[in-house]
């Protein structure tokens, strides 16, 4: 079968024109496919559904109508195939032009003008000096992690000789009512266990428990904040009647070799301490490496010149919003409920991520330029690994997944993303790590944000404490 051909002409304003020739056989296949569909849909007097000959359908519907329907059905697929064959990356809808109708003997010609990704102009991108954080784990950090582990093996012991203080566990009954009188659903509980000061309930509510004794009753007023998760309680002033039934405190096991044996696979406390230090150092190294990669890309992007098209920013912002919505849905929260509780809307949330979207697009274009400048290609082994992972998730064979990726053009996107990862590896390998400058007051929050975005491990997640 004769192949479709597509010639590319570069135009101004980051646009290209595709001149496409569709061979006669492909046109015939498109027309025949539409005829099969029309036979099932159109009732022709004297013929059973689906049995009317082509000449009868042409007489009944008109050849021009059939050809126009076939063109509308086939043109998007022909355009997509031309884009894949020409190896271009459109970022907007094409403007398609053609002068002659479909011809099953001569074929079909059309042109498509479309905006494609711009090319970044790289500045200096090799040998850059980029700050990197020193890996340092203090004794205090080791002891803090050890205390966290110790807390997981704590038991609760009854307290009778003192009042409630922060960190205690209390068992209480409470009931709330409107200050003006009347019950308020959702503000009562019996035998409720609460760790005071952890922030499980309202801060003012928990503060009022401090100083109470076991068996004591008390009433106090609390005003719910305007951003409270339950909309019906926002801004409500509520009178709570509280009965503290029991007070319990953590009974921590002694830090000794017996604890090490119970809490880990190690025989001594010193071995456990050494293992904790090693874990913290490894986590710190991963964070430092992640931060360094982010700073290297920032430095290269700052030295590059690229105009980021608005349509790419809009698409990336939409992609980020959809990713966020999938994340909250996986936690059992409907996106619309999240937006309502957060006091925002989907479009407002998209506006909030636009700056991040623009930054992400710019860095993707910069990495594409590095790929081109250095002749970087994705590893076939890495591509195969990703395909096998997709196949495992979808319950299909790797061969089927690869075939589908190639047919819909996603294979090229996968190869492109893996090439970007190699480009970033290249930039990191060719950067020079220098000591971090002294941190200015207030910089901790900035660094925490960098660490959060760069983190690739779950070592810092805190376990829920046993009660």
DSSP 84-96: HHHT--B-S--EE
Q: Mention every residue, 6+ apart, whose C-beta is less than 8 A from residue 294.
A: 450, 453, 454
**Mean of per-residue pLDDT scores for the chain:** 88
What is the pLDDT averaged over residues 364-386? 94
Single out the residue of 432, 349, 407, 399 nearest to residue 130, CA to CA: 432
Instruction: For 65-75, write each residue's pLDDT tens digit.
Output: 999 999 999 99
- Residue 1 is predicted with a pLDDT of 56
- Residue 419 is predicted with a pLDDT of 95
Burial (CB count <10 Å: 0-12, 13-18, 19+), residue 97: exposed
**pTM of the predicted protein model:** 0.69
- Residue 126 is predicted with a pLDDT of 96
Class of the domain covering 5-115: alpha beta
- Residue 290 is predicted with a pLDDT of 96
Where do we find the tokens 């590095």? Answer: 370
- Residue 461 is predicted with a pLDDT of 38
Any idea what the Cα angle at residue 387 is, between residues 385 and 390, rounded to 5°?
Answer: 110
DSSP 8-state symbol, 234: T
CATH architecture assignment, domain 155-251 = Roll (3.10)
Q: What φ, ψ does residue 158 adopt, rounded to 5°?
A: -65, 145
Q: How confident is the model at residue 76 (pLDDT cuts 50, 70, 90)?
A: very high
State yes or no: pLDDT of 227 exceeds 60. Answer: yes
Pairwise CA distance, residues 380 & 416, whole Å: 12
H or E stretch covering 428 = helix 410-429
Query: Which residues make up the CATH 3.30.70.1050 domain(s) of the chain?
Result: 5-115
Cα–Cα distance list, 299 to 360, 418, 420, 422 (Å): 14, 21, 16, 17
Instruction: For 191-225, write each residue's pLDDT tens digit.
Output: 999 999 998 999 999 999 999 999 999 999 999 88
Listed in sequence order, the DSSP H helices in 94-239 are 139-152, 203-209
DSSP-derived secondary structure for 391-417: HHHHTS-HHHHHHHHHHHTHHHHHHHH
pLDDT greater at residue 72 or residue 443: 72
Any idea what the Cα angle at residue 169 is, between residues 251 and 173, rounded to 5°?
Answer: 150
State yes or no: pLDDT of 281 exceeds 70. Answer: yes
Query: Which residues make up the CATH 3.10.50.40 domain(s) of the chain?
Result: 155-251
C-beta neighbour count of 174 within 10 angstroms: 20
- Residue 189 is predicted with a pLDDT of 94
Measured in whole angstroms, how far is the alpha carbon of residue 448 from the centre of its chain? 19
Cα–Cα distance list, 215 to 106, 244, 305 (Å): 95, 5, 70
Measured in whole angstroms, how far is the alpha carbon of residue 186 from the centre of its chain? 34
Q: How confident is the model at residue 440 (pLDDT cuts 50, 70, 90)?
A: low
Pairwise CA distance, residues 319 & 341, whole Å: 22
3-class DSSP state for residue 183? strand
């Amino acid at each position: 079968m004769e192949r479709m051909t597509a010639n590319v002409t570069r135009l101004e304003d980051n646009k290209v024109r595709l001149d496409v020739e569709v061979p006669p056989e492909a046109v015939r296949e498109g027309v025949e496919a539409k005829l099969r569909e029309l036979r099932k849909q159109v009732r022709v007097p004297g013929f059973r559904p689906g049995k009317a000959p082509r000449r009868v359908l042409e007489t009944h519907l008109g050849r021009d109508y059939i050809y126009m329907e076939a063109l509308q059905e086939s043109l998007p697929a022909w355009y997509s195939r031309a884009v894949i064959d020409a190896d271009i990356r459109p970022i907007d809808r094409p403007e398609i032009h053609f002068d002659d109708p479909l011809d099953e003997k001569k074929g079909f010609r059309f042109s498509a003008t479309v905006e494609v990704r711009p090319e970044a102009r790289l500045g200096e991108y090799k040998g850059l000096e980029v700050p990197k954080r020193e890996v340092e784990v203090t004794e205090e950090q080791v002891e803090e992690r050890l205390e966290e582990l110790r807390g997981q093996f704590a038991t609760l012991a009854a307290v009778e000789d003192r009042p409630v203080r922060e960190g205690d566990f209390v068992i209480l009954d409470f009931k709330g009512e409107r200050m003006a009188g009347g019950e308020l659903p959702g503000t009562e509980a019996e035998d409720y266990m609460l760790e005071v000061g952890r922030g499980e309930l309202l801060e003012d509510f928990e503060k009022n428990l401090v100083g109470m004794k076991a068996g004591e009753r008390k009433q106090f007023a609390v005003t719910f904040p305007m951003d409270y998760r339950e909309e019906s309680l926002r801004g409500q002033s509520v009178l709570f009647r509280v009965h503290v039934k029991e007070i319990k405190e953590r009974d921590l096991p002694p830090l000794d070799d017996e604890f090490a044996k119970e809490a880990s696979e190690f025989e001594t406390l010193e071995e456990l301490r050494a293992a904790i230090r090693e874990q913290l150092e490894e986590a710190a190294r991963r964070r430092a490496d992640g931060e360094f990669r982010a700073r290297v890309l920032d430095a290269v992007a700052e030295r590059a010149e690229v105009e980021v098209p608005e349509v790419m920013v809009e698409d990336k912002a939409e992609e980020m919003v959809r990713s966020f919505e999938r994340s909250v849905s996986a936690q059992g929260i409907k996106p619309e409920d999240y937006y309502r509780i957060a006091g925002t809307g989907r479009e407002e949330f998209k506006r909030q991520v636009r700056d991040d979207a623009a930054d992400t697009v710019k860095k993707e274009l910069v990495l594409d330029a590095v790929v081109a400048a250095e002749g970087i290609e994705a590893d076939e082994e890495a591509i195969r690994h990703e395909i096998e992972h997709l196949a495992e998730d979808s319950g299909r064979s790797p061969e089927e997944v690869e075939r589908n990726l190639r047919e819909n053009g996603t294979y090229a996107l996968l190869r492109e993303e893996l090439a970007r990862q190699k480009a970033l590896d290249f930039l990191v390998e060719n950067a020079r790590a220098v000591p971090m400058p002294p941190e200015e007051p207030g910089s901790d929050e900035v660094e925490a944000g960098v660490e959060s975005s760069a983190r690739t491990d779950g070592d810092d997640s805190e376990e829920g404490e046993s009660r």
